[in-house]
Every structure is written in C-alpha cells, then in structure tokens.
Chains A and B, each alone.
Chain A
Amino acid sequence: MAVPILKQGEFLIASIQAALSDHDLVDLRDELAGRIGRFRARGVVIDVTALDVLDSFGTRTLRGIAHTARLRGAKCVVVGIQPEVAFAMVQLGLSLDGVPTALDLEEGLFLLGARGGDGASAV
C-alpha cells in the first residue's frame, strides 16, 4: 500500500495509514528522496501515528529516510510514535539516533517551522 505524500507549503507530509511491508517502506524512501528535490522542500514530516509496531527494518529505513532527506537539504521529523511502540523499541534496543521526533503532526511542523530546531525533541 502506497503512502500518500502531501505537500504543505515548503514541507512534505508522509502520513503512514496502515502497517507497511518492507517493500512499501523502501518505496516511500525513494519517493520522498525524489520529491524533496522536485518540490524544493525544506522539511519532511513522517507521521507514524497509525503504526502499532516498528521493527528493526522499519526503524533502520526511517533513519535512512531522515539522513537521505538531510543530504537533499530537508530536515526530517518522525511524529506520532505511540507509547507502546516507543516502549517496545527501547526494549528491542532500536533507536532513531539523530532523527528528531515529535509528539504529533502539529508539533512536528512546529519543530520544522518558525522556531525550527529549538523544540522539545533532542536532535
């Protein structure tokens, strides 16, 4: 299932709606990398609110997307990690080191936006 990528001003919003296969995630990475250049996006928000599990491949791919985005000149924020998912991730030793995270879409946009960078989340 493809992930819709919305353009909102100079930001791109990828809202993951359902559990993704590894293949979908790779598609998302490629699609985002292309669109950042095409739309000259300054930031990317990946919303994972709907996900109830994030495995090692998902985590690694998200990290990859964030690093790719940065290389293309856009800051990437992962938003909406649920408490259960966060807990499972630390239990499994999965981390999103170097990837900013925020509570939800609003916070994510805020983090990228006017105050860009001094939000709550550690980078």
Chain B
Amino acid sequence: MHSVDPSPIQHLMREMGIDEASVEYRKRIVGIEARDLERIGAVRELVVQNAERLTSSFFDYLAGLEEGRALSGDRVVLARARELKREHLVAMVQGNYGLEYARQRLELALLYNRVGLDLRVFLAAFHHLLERAGEILTRHSGLAPLEGFETFMSLKKVAFFDIGLIVDAIVFERERLIRQQQSAIRELSTPVLQIRDRMLLLPIIGVIDTARARLVTESLLRAIRDNRAKVVVMDITGVATIDSRVANHLIQTVTAARLMGASVIVTGLSAEVAQSLVALGIDLTKLNTVGDLQGGIEEAERSLGYQVLQRERPAIARGE
C-alpha cells in the first residue's frame, strides 16, 4: 500500500491527490494544446540560452523586495532555489508537462514554503521573469510581432500551469497546521466521563459534523459497555448552533445509547437554540431534555436512586 519511506514530495503529491489524471486536467484548464507545444518548441534554444539571465532576473527582483529577503538571506536555500529555477526554465520549453514536471514544481514550492516566501512577492517576481522572457522573445526570436505574441502566450499558459501547482502546494502546506489542529480538537473534545457508578457525562463542545458525531457516538457506546452505564448526561452547552443535521446526529446518538440499554438526558439547550429548533420545526420530543447540566445530573441521580444530602452548611455557603 504505502512505501516505507516516501520522499516528502511524493508524500505531498499523494496527499494533494496529484496524479497523471489531475496533471492532465490542470493542463486542460489552462488550455495547453498541441499548437502551444509547437510554438514553444520553436523558441526552445533561445530560452535555454537565456535561462541563466532569466533566473537572475527572478532572484534579483526578489532580493530587491523586503519580503523577498526570506529567500535571498539563506545562501544554501538560495543556491538550491536558483538551481531548481534554472532547471524549471529549461523544462518549461521541453514540451513535456507530465507528472515528473509537476513533481519538480512541487519541490520548488516546498522550498519556498520552508523559508516562508510571501506569495504576493513570488507572483510579482514570476511576472517579472515573464516580462523579461517576453522581451527576449520579441527582440531575439526573429518572429513576426503576432507570432511572437502567440508564442509568448503559449509560454504563459505553461507558466500559469506552474503557478497553479506552486500556489496550491504552498497553500496546502500552510493549511496543514489548520488540519492538524482540527484533528487535535476532535480528539480532545470527545471525553466520556464517569461521574457516578453507572452514570456517564458527555460534554460536547464545538462544531458537530458527521465525522465528529460518529466519533462521539462510538466512544459513548464503548463507554456504556465498559462502565455498564445506565444513564448518560449529554451536555451541549458548548454547541453554538444546532441545525437539522446536528439535531439528527444527536437523535442518532441517543437512539444508539438506548439500544444498549442506557437512557440519555440532554442538557444545556440555550434559549436561542431551543427557539431556532422550534422555528425550524425540528422534533426533539424523543429526547429527554433538562435545562442545565446541574438539573440533568440531579435527574440522572434520581433515576439511579441516588440521594444527595448536604450534611451541614459549610463555611463557604455561610459566606464566612
């Protein structure tokens, strides 16, 4: 299934779902056709000859900008980036824009991302490079103005294909943190706590989507079996909004718990949530609801036959 030690780029490509088909699709989006390949082929030599100059124009432009220092400040990274960029320019005119080509673009994107290169600056520098390329084309290719323009546009399609890949990869990498945090929140926020013998507390905080509802239900059912619970108090004070889908998830959780012989008391429906549920016409009469968590726990204790007695008024309650 998975190779043992995939390179970071291979890994990224798999995560982003970049394969032969998606690369072809990307090419179709920017409109690279056979004619474009022909035109690019005609100026191949010229671009390869000027690759060094164009690379310099890109990095010099970056170095001239405050935000570009992130890249130009690190010698090792800069040397590698220059090398990749030069290879990029040569590859750009080879007419072969397959999976391997995409892989090379992603390698550069990962490098940019590592030094935290500003996307605006990257786009500006790339545009600057294209401008230089256009200049070289019109001056030295010996093509008629219209042909020159068309050739330049063909090259630009490839450039936009590249930009699409690079920007996607950088954004994907930046969103990685968000995805990690989301999964951490999910893991953290579904505790099932035993608060009395045979009585569980399930506080739900945050957004309930289908995946999370599943997780909550599964961990609750397992806890019911393991703790031999008879009553569950489900507190949804921390759920900001409830729509029909969320309500449906709640009902499913309650129904599943009931199938295992545990009754569920739902607490913490705020005034707003209650009103919006009524307005939406969602029927929650199947659920046993109690105003707040305290009331829910008291109700659960009663049903299990507990009686809580306060022996004497402690100092705290007397206000001393």
Instruction: Report which A residues bind B (CB closer than 8 A).
Output: 79, 81-83, 85-87, 89-91, 95-96, 101-104, 107-108, 118-122
A-B contact pairs, 25 of them (CB 8 A): A81-B260, A81-B261, A83-B222, A83-B225, A83-B256, A83-B260, A86-B221, A86-B257, A86-B259, A87-B218, A90-B253, A90-B255, A90-B259, A91-B252, A95-B255, A101-B258, A101-B261, A103-B230, A103-B260, A104-B261, A118-B303, A119-B230, A121-B262, A121-B263, A122-B258
Report the separation of the CA atoms of residues A90 and B218 in the bound assembly, to the nearest whole angstrom: 12
Q: Which residue of A lies closest to B303 (CB)?
A: A120
Q: Verify if B43 is at the interface (C-beta below 8 Å from A).
A: no
Asked if A120 contacts B261 (CB within 8 A), the reply is yes
> In the complex, what's the smallest C-beta–C-beta distance from A66 to chain B, in angstroms?
13
CB-CB < 8 A to A119: which residues of B? 230, 261
Asked if B256 contacts A87 (CB within 8 A), the reply is yes
Q: Verify if B71 is at the interface (C-beta below 8 Å from A).
A: no
Report the separation of the CA atoms of residues A85 and B224 in the bound assembly, to the nearest whole angstrom: 14
Report the separation of the CA atoms of residues A116 and B288 in the bound assembly, to the nearest whole angstrom: 21
Asked if A79 contacts B261 (CB within 8 A), the reply is yes
Within 8 A of A (CB), among B222-278: 222, 224-225, 228-231, 252-253, 255-263
- Of B218, B252, B256, B261, the contact of A102 (CB 8 Å cutoff): B261
Interface of B is mostly: helix
Asked if B256 contacts A86 (CB within 8 A), the reply is yes
CB-CB < 8 A to B224: which residues of A? 83, 103
- Decide yes or no: A89 and B261 within 8 Å by CB, A83-B221, A83-B225, A120-B303 being known contacts: no
CB-CB < 8 A to A120: which residues of B? 198, 230-231, 261-263, 303-304
Most buried by A among B222, B255, B303: B255
Instruction: Report which B residues bind A (CB closer than 8 A).
Output: 198, 214, 217-218, 221-222, 224-225, 228-231, 252-253, 255-263, 288, 303-304
Sort A-B residue pairs by CB-CB distance and give the 4 closest, nearest first: A120-B230, A83-B221, A102-B261, A103-B261
Q: Which residue of B lies closest to A111 (CB)?
A: B261
Asked if B222 contacts A121 (CB within 8 A), the reply is no
> In the complex, what's the smallest C-beta–C-beta distance from A76 to chain B, in angstroms?
14
Asked if A89 contacts B230 (CB within 8 A), the reply is no
Report the separation of the CA atoms of residues A82 and B226 in the bound assembly, to the nearest whole angstrom: 11
- Decide yes or no: A121 and B261 within 8 Å by CB, A87-B256, A89-B256 being known contacts: yes
> In the complex, what's the smallest C-beta–C-beta distance from A99 to chain B, in angstroms?
9
Known A-B contacts: A87-B214, A121-B261. Give 16 more (CB < 8 A).
A79-B261, A83-B218, A87-B221, A89-B256, A90-B255, A90-B256, A101-B258, A102-B261, A103-B262, A119-B230, A119-B261, A120-B261, A120-B303, A120-B304, A121-B258, A122-B263
Report the separation of the CA atoms of residues A69 and B288 in the bound assembly, to the nearest whole angstrom: 27
CB-CB < 8 A to B256: which residues of A? 83, 86-87, 89-90
Q: Which residue of B lies closest to A119 (CB)?
A: B230
CB-CB < 8 A to B258: which residues of A? 101, 121-122
> In the complex, what's the smallest C-beta–C-beta distance from A3 to chain B, in angstroms?
20
